[in-house]
């Protein structure tokens, strides 16, 4: 049998990469654009051998543009440096390492769970749930599914329509990414362990650096617990400043911060997204510094009340990296949660406060094991 040296070497490399990422998680997680093209990109010097390199750009040998003659390299000619190309070996090469976002999250969770010494998750008994050995009924269609459940008829129809639209040809040229439809369980009948989670993020001017790190760490830890409890869940993402917008996951993790803060819009959008949702548990996680714009306070109060009525649990994260006092709208929410079930407040200052927020969060499940599930 052939020893696959390349793959063994790659395994060793990836082990080191994991160690590096763990050590540098805090810097990586603060990158404004955490996801680019579905990947987390990192420039990692230590995965190269620590050979010496020049630290500044000076003159170099290059080729390209085809301009010929002297003069400037204007006009947008592509200039290709010849340095590495003349060598022929890999020594001294910087490797840009790309990680799938899911892989990155898993690594981050390993570090955080370890650092935070988080409470173990006791799988609660699922009162109100149906346990069945029968195979599930795939009686609905969705654009997302598993290959084995591909609905050929619908997929072919979509392919035909797309080809007619794009190329003017009645051709079955299937592109699975664009055309596929899958058989899935109808969410109305599938309530066993499904949740809808809405993540709402304040992206007004102050959202950067440590602020982002705290939010993302909290979300990754939440996912760690929620994924165990709800193997099938639906996540939706909202960002807001003066207005609120739904975003894809990737967009949510590469936010541009700007504008003022209208917390009301965030809550309103989250409630809007629940329209038609039949999921068993509905969670809203709001992350903000609480400094809502003047004139928005009363609107925000009302929107918060509406959210409490619509969701099973509304967790309000007051992102507070400097550890200052709690004021503004956050103060109102902190007061409210004392008397309201289904409301939680977390003052996110550092890892310790994330830990206590998680404790509070997990009590939600403990109460669910004793009380009948809300419908």
Which tokens is 42 given? 């990192």
Number of residues this chain uses to bind other proteins (CB under 8 A): 60
In the 3-class helix/strand/coil scheme, how is 232-267 assigned residue by residue? EEEEEEEEECCCEEEECHHHHCCCCCCCCCCHHHHH
Backbone angles phi, psi at 39, to 5 degrees: -125, 155
Rg (CA), the chain: 25
Distances from the Cα of 185 to the Cαs of 136, 139, 144, 298, 331, in angstroms?
7, 5, 12, 41, 42
Nearer to other proteins, 61 or 176 (CB): 61
Q: Which of residues 149-188 bind other proteins (CB under 8 A)?
A: none
Q: Which of residues 195-224 bind other proteins (CB under 8 A)?
A: none
Nearer to other proteins, 79 or 152 (CB): 79
Nearer to other proteins, 91 or 228 (CB): 91
Nearer to other proteins, 75 or 325 (CB): 75
CB 46 to other proteins: min, Å: 7
14 counts as binding other proteins under rule CB under 8 A: yes
Nearer to other proteins, 10 or 258 (CB): 10
Buried b (16+ CB within 10 A) or exposed e, 262-282: bbbbbbbbbbebbeeeebbbb
- Helices (DSSP H) in 117-191: which residue ranges? 152-167, 176-179
Q: Which of residues 296-325 bind other proteins (CB under 8 A)?
A: none
Q: Which of residues 43-102 bind other proteins (CB under 8 A)?
A: 45-74, 79-93, 95, 98
Choose among 365, 343, 111, 326: nearest CA to 217.
111
Stretch that binds other proteins, among 7-15, 204-212, 274-282, 313-321 (CB under 8 A): 7-15
Nearer to other proteins, 69 or 322 (CB): 69
Interface ranges with other proteins (CB under 8 A)? 4-16, 45-74, 79-93, 95, 98
């Amino acid at each position: 049998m052939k020893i696959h040296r390349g793959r063994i070497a790659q395994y060793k490399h990836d082990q080191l990469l994991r160690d590096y990422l763990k050590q540098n998680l805090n810097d990586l997680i603060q990158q404004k654009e955490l996801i680019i093209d579905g990947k987390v990109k990192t420039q990692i010097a230590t995965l190269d051998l620590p050979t010496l390199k020049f630290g500044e750009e000076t003159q170099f040998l290059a080729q390209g543009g085809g301009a010929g003659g002297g003069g400037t390299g204007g006009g947008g000619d592509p200039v290709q440096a010849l340095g590495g190309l003349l060598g022929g070996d890999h020594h001294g090469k910087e490797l840009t390492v790309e990680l799938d976002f899911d892989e990155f999250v898993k690594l981050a969770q390993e570090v955080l769970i370890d650092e935070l010494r988080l409470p173990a998750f006791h799988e609660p008994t699922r009162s109100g749930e149906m346990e069945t050995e029968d195979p599930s009924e795939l009686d609905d269609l969705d654009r997302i599914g598993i290959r084995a459940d591909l609905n050929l008829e619908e997929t072919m129809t979509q392919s035909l329509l797309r080809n007619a639209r794009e190329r003017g040809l009645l051709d079955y040229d299937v592109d699975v990414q664009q055309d596929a439809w899958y058989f899935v369980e109808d969410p109305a009948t599938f309530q066993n362990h499904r949740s809808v989670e809405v993540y709402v993020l304040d992206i007004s001017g102050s959202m950067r650096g440590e602020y982002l790190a705290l939010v993302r760490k909290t979300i990754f830890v939440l996912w760690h617990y929620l994924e165990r409890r709800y193997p099938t869940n639906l996540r939706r993402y909202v960002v807001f400043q003066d207005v609120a917008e739904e975003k894809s996951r990737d967009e949510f993790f590469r936010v541009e911060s700007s504008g003022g803060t209208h917390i009301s819009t965030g809550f309103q959008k989250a409630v809007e997204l629940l329209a038609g949702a039949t999921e068993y548990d509905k969670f809203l996680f709001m992350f903000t510094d609480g400094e809502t714009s003047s004139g928005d306070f009363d609107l925000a109060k009302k929107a918060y009340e509406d959210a409490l009525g619509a969701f099973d649990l509304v967790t309000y994260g007051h992102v507070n990296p400097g550890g200052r006092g709690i004021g503004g709208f956050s103060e109102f929410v902190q007061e409210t949660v004392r008397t309201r079930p289904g409301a939680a407040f977390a003052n996110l200052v550092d890892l310790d406060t994330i830990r206590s927020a998680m404790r509070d969060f997990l009590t939600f499940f403990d109460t669910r094991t004793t009380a009948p599930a809300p419908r």
